[in-house]
Structure 1
Amino acid sequence: MLRLAVTGAGGFLGWHVRVLLRALGWPEPTVLTRADLADPGMVAAKVSGVDRVLHLAGVNRGEPADVAAGNVQLGAQLADGLKHCANPPARVIYANSVQAGNGTPYGDAKASAARVLASTGVDFDDVLLPNLYGEHGRPYYNSAVATFCRMLAEGGRPEVHADRELSLVHVTDAAARLIGVPSGGTWDPTMPALRIGVRDLVDRLTGVATTYRAGEIPPLVDRHDVRLFNTYRSHCFPAHYPLALPRRADARGELVETVKAHGGAGQTFCSTTHPGITRGEHFHLAKVERFVVLRGSAEISLRRVGDSEVLRFPVSGDEPVLVDMPTMWAHRLTNTGSDELVTMFWTNELFDPDRPDTWPEPVEAPRPAPVAVGA
C-alpha cells in the first residue's frame, strides 16, 4: 500500500484514479492543486516522503498557444517543487500522451514537460496514454466517446465528418497502470485497447442508445461492450431514471417484463427485505446492476464516489420501475414500508466470489469532500 500525491485529482483521469484507490482500500492521496503547483515550497512539503507522485494535470483543449504553455508550465512547476524537496518522492509517474512529440503544440508540450520532469533526478516513469474513455468524461473535452454519448443521451445524432481509426483504453485500466497494481479482473494495467473507426464507434454507440431507450440491455459480449455501455449510462443518469416497466394483466394476475437482454452473460436473483432494513452500501467498477421492486415500497439511494450529494428514488411494487445502478456510485435499497419488500436484481455477469466487483462504501457517510474539477 503506497502513499501517493496527485496533480489533476479533480480531472477525468484523476477522479478515476481516486475511485480505484478507494476500491483498493488505499489511503486518500495527497492532492496538489494548481495553486499548490505555483508555490515550490508547498509542492516540496506535500510530496516529501511519498512513494509516488502521479502527475495527471494537463491542458487538453483551448487555443494552441495556451495548450502548449499550460502543459509545459505544469510540468516545470512540479519539477521546481521536486528540486526544493529535502526528502523527494521515490518515483514520479507522468500521464503523458501517445501524441507526445508529434509536432503539434499539444504533443510537443507534453514531450517538453516529460524532459523537464526527467531532469529532476527522481526516478521517472513516462506513461504514454492513448485515447481514454469512461464514465463521466466531459463531452467536447475529454474524448469523442464522451461527446457522442452525451449527444445520444440528449436525443441527438452524432455526425462524422472525417473517419479515422481510434485506439481507445478504458480509464480504469489507465489508472491501474499509473498506480502500479496488477490485473484485478475488473481492471487491466496492460491497457487493452479497442481499435475502432470513428464511424463504427458512432454506429456502435447509436445501437446501444437505441436498444437502451426502452430499458433493454444491448449485447454485452466483451469488456469493451460493457465499458462503453457503462460510459453511455453515466450520461443518462439520473435524468433517465426511474424507467417505467411494461405490465400486462388478465384474470390470472399481472406480468412485468423486467429485463430484456440482447446478448452476453447475466444473472437474475430475488430478495425479501424486512421493514426498515437496508441492502447495498457498496459500488461497482464495471458490473451492470438493475433493481426492480415487485412488492412493497422502498427508497433507492445513490452517491457518486468522492461526492457528497445523495440522490433518492422512491419506488413501489404497485408501479414497477427499473433503476440501473451507475458504475462508481455507492448505492443502497431500504424497505420504507410496513410489509416485506420483494426485489428483483439483474447483473450482466455471473457472480464470482473471487472477483465480486463489490466495494464497500456507505451512501450517507462520504469520506473527504470532492476535489474541484480542474484542481
Structure 2
Amino acid sequence: MRVIITGGHGFLGWHTAARLRALHEMEVVRLGRAEFADPDGLVQHIRRADVVLHLAGVNRAASDEEVRAGNVALATQLAAALVAASKPVRVVYANSIQARGKSPYGCGKAEAGDLIRAATAAAGGSLADVILPNLFGEHGRPEYNSFVATFCHLIANDGAPSIIQDIEVPLLHAQAAAEVLLSAMIGDQDVVIEPTGEPRSVSEILDQIRGFHNVYRNGDIPALPDSFSVDLFNTYRSYTFPEQFPRFATVHADARGELFETVRSHGGKGQSFVSVTRPGYTRGEHYHLRKIERFYVVRGAAEISLRRLLHDEVIRFTVSDDRPGYIDMPTMWVHNLTNVGNNDLVTIFWTDQLLDPDDPDQYPDRVVQETRA
C-alpha cells in the first residue's frame, strides 16, 4: 500500500509517519508546501497512491481570515488534484471538533471538508472524516499547535505561562490520533469517526506539567498513574532535550569508594538492568513510541547518539566515569550507545515499564543512516 500524507512534515504528520514506520509495512510519501506548489506533480502523486491522509492545515496566521482561507486553499488544491487524477482512492481527512463552531479555524476546516468530500466522490473514492479533539504530543510547536506545547516549552525553560481562559478541553495524544487515522485507511465506504479525548481543564494541565518539572529537574521520575500522565510527561520532557543533557550525579565518596543515585521514581512500576559493553561495540539501534528509558554510565566512556525519527541530524553525547551522568531517551528518537574507551563500559538502564515480550515497544532502526548513491 502506498500512502500519501499531506502536511507530512508538520506535527500530526510527523507523528503519523513515525507510527506508520514503526508498525506498518507501507510506502509513505510526505507532502509539504513544495509539493502543493506543483499542481501537476500533486496529481501524479495521487495517481500513484492507494490512500491519501489529508493532515495539512493552518492553525495560526497573521489574521483570522488567513487561518480560514489557508485551510480552504489547501483543500481546494487537493480537491482539484483528486478530480484531475480521476482515481478512486481512500481519503482520510483530519478534521476537527472546531468545525462545528464559528471560529475562523473551525469554519476553514468545515469548508475544507465539504470540498474534499465532493472531490473524493467525483473521483469514485471514499472518505473517512475523522473529527479530532484538541491534540498534544512530543515536539508540538509552542504558540501554534496547542496550549500544551506552549506550557511545556515555557515550563521546561523556567518560563511563566499564563491562563487566558480556564475551560475544560478534550485532549488526545498525537500517537492516539495517528492510530485512529491509520485504522480509518481500511474500508471503501464513507464514514465519520470521532475519537474522544480526555477532558481536562487548562489549569489542571498547567498544574500537572509544573509538578513534572519540579520533580524531573532533580532527576526524579514523577508519579505516572495512567497512560494520559505518561503521554503528557513524554510531551513535557521532549522540550528538555537535548539542551538539558547529559545530567550528572552527586557523588558521595569516602575511603570505601563512591555512591550515587541512578533513578528515583515517585510511584509506578519499572525495571533496571546493567550491561557490560566491550571496547568498540555498540548497543541499541532502535526507538520507542511511549517508553521512558534512562542510560546511566557508571564505568568507562560511552558515546550516546540519537536521531529524531524521520530526520537526518545526529546528536552525540560523550559520558564517562570521570563524572557519572545519564541521558533520558526521548520517545521516537533512534538511539545507540558505543564504548569509546579502552576498558569495559558498564551502563545501568532503567525503563518505566516491565518488558512485555508481546508488546516490547522497541522498533529497530539505525542512528546513522546508510548513504544512498
> Is the shorter-chain TM-score for this pair beyond 0.5, marking a shared fold?
yes
Instruction: Give 3-state SS (helix, strand or coil) of 2:285's partner.
Output: strand
Distance, in Å, in 2 between the alignment partners of 1:84 and 1:124 is 17
Distance, in Å, in 2 between the alignment partners of 1:190 and 1:115 is 17
CA gap 1:102/1:12 in 2 versus in 1, 3 angstroms: same
- Alignment check: 8 A CA contact 1:49 1:87 kept: no
- Report what 1:71 is aligned to: 71
Q: How does 1:28-67 map to 2 (within 5 A)?
A: 28-62=27-61, 63-67=63-67
* Partner amino acid, structure 1, of 2:295: F
Q: Shift of residue 107 of structure 1?
A: 0.8
Q: Shift of residue 160 of structure 1?
A: 1.8
Instruction: Give 3-state SS (helix, strand or coil) of 1:300's partner.
Output: strand
Q: Shift of residue 367 of structure 1?
A: 8.6
CA gap 1:161/1:82 in 2 versus in 1, 3 angstroms: closer
- Structure with bigger RCO (C-alpha 8 Å, 6+ apart): 1
* Partner amino acid, structure 1, of 2:106: G
- Report what 2:132 is aligned to: 129
4+ residue runs over 3 A deviation: 189-192
* Partner amino acid, structure 2, of 1:262: H
- Report what 1:156 is aligned to: 159
Q: How many residue pairs are counted as aligned between the two chains?
A: 360
Distance, in Å, in 2 between the alignment partners of 1:196 and 1:234 is 21
Instruction: Give 3-state SS (helix, strand or coil) of 1:119's partner.
Output: helix
Distance, in Å, in 1 between the alignment partners of 2:131 and 2:215 is 35
TM normalised by structure 2 equals: 0.93
Larger deviation, residues 359-368 vs 131-140: 359-368
- Report what 1:247 is aligned to: 251
Same amino acid, percent of matched pairs: 50
Matched, 1:80 2:80: yes
Instruction: Give 3-state SS (helix, strand or coil) of 1:258's partner.
Output: coil
Q: Which runs of 5+ in 2 are unaligned?
A: 186-192
Instruction: Give 3-state SS (helix, strand or coil) of 2:85's partner.
Output: coil
Q: How does 1:143-182 map to 2 (within 5 A)?
A: 143-180=146-183
Instruction: Give 3-state SS (helix, strand or coil) of 1:323's partner.
Output: strand
- Report what 2:276 is aligned to: 272
- Alignment check: 8 A CA contact 1:18 1:28 kept: no
List per-residue Cα deviations over 1:286-335 (Å, max 9, x = no partner): 10000001111111011111111111111112311110001111000001
Larger deviation, residues 195-204 vs 28-37: 28-37
Distance, in Å, in 1 between the alignment partners of 2:118 and 2:266 is 53
Q: How does 1:1-375 map to 2 (within 5 A)?
A: 2-62=1-61, 63-89=63-89, 91-120=90-119, 121=121, 122-180=125-183, 191=195, 193-365=197-369
Instruction: Give 3-state SS (helix, strand or coil) of 2:53's partner.
Output: strand
Distance, in Å, in 2 between the alignment partners of 1:172 and 1:260 is 27
Distance, in Å, in 1 between the alignment partners of 2:27 and 2:58 is 24
- Alignment check: 8 A CA contact 2:248 2:324 kept: yes
Q: Shift of residue 38 of structure 1?
A: 4.3
Q: Shift of residue 190 of structure 1?
A: 8.3
List per-residue Cα deviations over 1:45-68 (Å, max 9, x = no partner): 111142210001101112111011
Q: Shift of residue 76 of structure 1?
A: 1.2
Distance, in Å, in 1 between the alignment partners of 2:361 and 2:106 is 36
Distance, in Å, in 1 between the alignment partners of 2:246 and 2:39 is 49
RMSD: 1.8
TM normalised by structure 1 equals: 0.92
Distance, in Å, in 1 between the alignment partners of 2:341 and 2:167 is 54
List per-residue Cα deviations over 1:251-283 (Å, max 9, x = no partner): 221111000110111101101111111000001
Distance, in Å, in 2 between the alignment partners of 1:50 and 1:8 is 16
Distance, in Å, in 2 between the alignment partners of 1:211 and 1:139 is 22
* Partner amino acid, structure 2, of 1:223: S
Instruction: Give 3-state SS (helix, strand or coil) of 1:93's partner.
Output: strand
* Partner amino acid, structure 2, of 1:215: G
- Report what 1:185 is aligned to: none
- Report what 2:190 is aligned to: none
